[in-house]
Each structure stands twice: as C-alpha cells, then as structure tokens.
Amino acid sequence: MKFSSDHSPAPGAALCAAESAPAPGGESRTRDAVARLIQQAGPQTAAVLADRLQLSAAAVRRHLEALVADGVLVEVAPRATSRGPRGRGRPARAFALTDLGRARFGHSYDELATTALQYLRSAGGEQAVVGFAEHRAAGLAEHIRLRLAGRPLSPAGKAELVAEVLTEEGYVANVAPGGAGSQLCQHHCPIVHVAAEFPELCEAETRVLAEVLGTNVQRLATIAHGDGVCTTHISPPLPASPSVKPATGTSSKARTSTTGGRQ
C-alpha cells in the first residue's frame, strides 16, 4: 500500500463536485438569518421563525429542509413551555444547529489549535508535529476499524463506510466513481485553517485511508490547499500475493537458497 499527497492532476480529478448548487443570493441570506436566529435563541419551530422573519410558514419550512439537507440544522424534540397544555395533534417540529452549523459563525478554536501546534513545533521540532498528526489520525483509524469489524464488505462498500465515518466526523464525505477506481470526496474540512499551516495533518489522514482501505490512495486536492473539495483517488484493490506452501521438511534457509539459484 502507498499514498501520495501530491496535487498533480489525474484522470477524473474533477469528479468530486458539490452535491447541490449554492442557493441564490436572496435565499442564501434568508437561510443565514434562519440559522442565526436559532443560534441566538436555541431550537425554534417553523411558526416562530416565520413570525420573526415575516415570512410564510411554507417558505420557512423550505429553508429549514434545505439547511437540514446541508447538515446545518437537525430536528429535535420541541421544548416544553409553561403556556399550558397544547392542543391535540402532532407537536410542532423544532430545529437546532449542528456542530457544522455552529462553525458557520466562527470561533477561536482554530487560532488556539494553530498556536498550540506552533508551540509544539518550536519546543519539539518538526517530528513533534508529525507525532501529533499520527496520534490524531490513529484515532480516526480506530473508529473506522471498529465499524468495519465483522463486516465482510466489498471494496466499494468499505469506501462507502469510510465516507460515512468521515461525515460523522464533520467532513461531509461521499464516494464517486473515478476512472480506474473511485474518489473519496470530502466537501467540508473542520480543521481547514489549521491544516493550511500544518499539512502534516492531511498527510497522516491520507496514510490512514490507505491503511484502512487496504489499497493505494492518492490525495488529488485539499480544501486547505485552496481547492473546493478534498479529493482522494482510491485505486482498485491490490491483487492478493500467491501463497507458496513450503516443501515438507525443508528449512527456510534451504528454500531461500534453492529459489535464489533458479534461472
């Protein structure tokens, strides 16, 4: 197995595309307003949001569905209120921000992580940063192995499961066909600003992908490098090495000598 983090173009390198076109300017602003209201006030129903934004309930529901599909919002149980018993019928749905949704509004975690890694590099040298990157990637590898355990998946099924785990980790991943093999597409990077300064994080992640998938992979593009999508080409599975049964009663040394003497 091997991996490559080069950004050299390869056949089908542009196959990882956004799964949906961005909303037009007006709709994008409205969705930002919906998300910001939920950020400020906590989980909200479509009716409350429609009243606050002076929009129809149908329009707000359409924006809510789009934000859920984008991973920005998630449906949650409505909060109990002290306004007395509700009438009959199904409780109104409420919506809350996901971790991805909260990241839209910025935070200082990136700055803190970058400062910590800068200190680590100055105190322990480049190898200390590499060691940290390997430690972080090992946690991802263990997560994937636990999900793969006891599941006889095809190579394609294994790649899909890896994409599923990466999505749970905030990478919004999917698998697309890509010439001889496939492409793992990561549409979001939760550590993009840190990885831009410390590419060791991406390199360690790529090594882990090669290991858990059991085949060669090549990183074609990364968001941290300025590309729109992190794209990793997954080569077809490596052919199994033919097993040679040793002759009964023949030592390893003798077999090596005999094989090495053949023409």
pLDDT tens digits for 106-120? 666 788 899 999 999
Is the residue at 205 inside a domain? Answer: yes
More confident residue, 35 or 252: 35
How large a percentage of the chain has pLDDT more than 70?
74
Q: How many domains is the chain partitioned into structurally?
A: 2
Is there a contact between 190 and 170 (Cβ–Cβ < 8 Å)? yes
Which two tokens mark 229?
A: 């999508």
Q: What is the mean pLDDT of residues 194-209?
A: 96
Q: Are residues 60 and 177 in the same domain?
A: no
Instruction: Name the pLDDT band for 2 (thresholds 50, 70, 90).
Output: low
Q: Are residues 94 and 124 in the same domain?
A: no
For 42-96, the pLDDT digits (tens) are 899 999 999 999 999 999 999 999 999 999 999 987 654 334 444 555 667 899 9
For 30-51, the pLDDT digits (tens) are 998 999 898 888 899 999 999 9
Q: Are residues 137 and 222 in the same domain?
A: yes
Q: Are residues 51 and 99 in the same domain?
A: yes
H or E element at residue 44: strand 44-45
| Pick from 142-156, 176-190, 201-215, 246-260: least confident | 246-260
Is the residue at 249 inside a domain? Answer: no
pLDDT value of residue 254: 39
Residue 141 CB-half CA count within 13 A: 17
Q: Are residues 122 and 206 in the same domain?
A: yes
pLDDT value of residue 146: 94
d(Cα 93, Cα 35) in Å, to the nearest integer? Answer: 15
pTM over 0.75: no
pLDDT value of residue 5: 64
- From edge to edge, which strands make up the β-sheet containing 94-97? 44-45, 94-97, 73-76
pLDDT value of residue 126: 95
Q: Are residues 134 and 57 in the same domain?
A: no
User: Is 133 a residue whose pLDDT tops 90?
Assistant: yes
User: Is 239 a residue whose pLDDT tops 80?
Assistant: no
pLDDT value of residue 238: 67
Mean pLDDT for the chain overall: 81
How large a percentage of the chain has pLDDT more than 90?
50
Q: Are residues 98 and 128 in the same domain?
A: no
Q: Are residues 146 and 95 in the same domain?
A: no
Q: Are residues 66 and 116 in the same domain?
A: no
pLDDT value of residue 241: 60
More confident residue, 227 or 27: 227
Tell me how crowded residue 260 is: count the other CB atoms within 10 A of its CB.
Answer: 7
Long-range own/partner contacts, residues 53-61 (CB < 8 A, 24 or more apart): 55/30, 59/30, 60/34
d(Cα 212, Cα 166) in Å, to the nearest integer? Answer: 13
Supply the range of the domain harboring residue 75: 25-80+90-103
| Pick from 183-192, 197-206, 233-242: least confident | 233-242
More confident residue, 77 or 227: 227
**CATH number reported for the structural domain that contains residue 196 in this entry:** 3.30.1380.20
- Which residue blocks in 70-214 are alpha helix, DSSP H? 99-103, 109-124, 126-148, 155-168, 192-197, 200-213
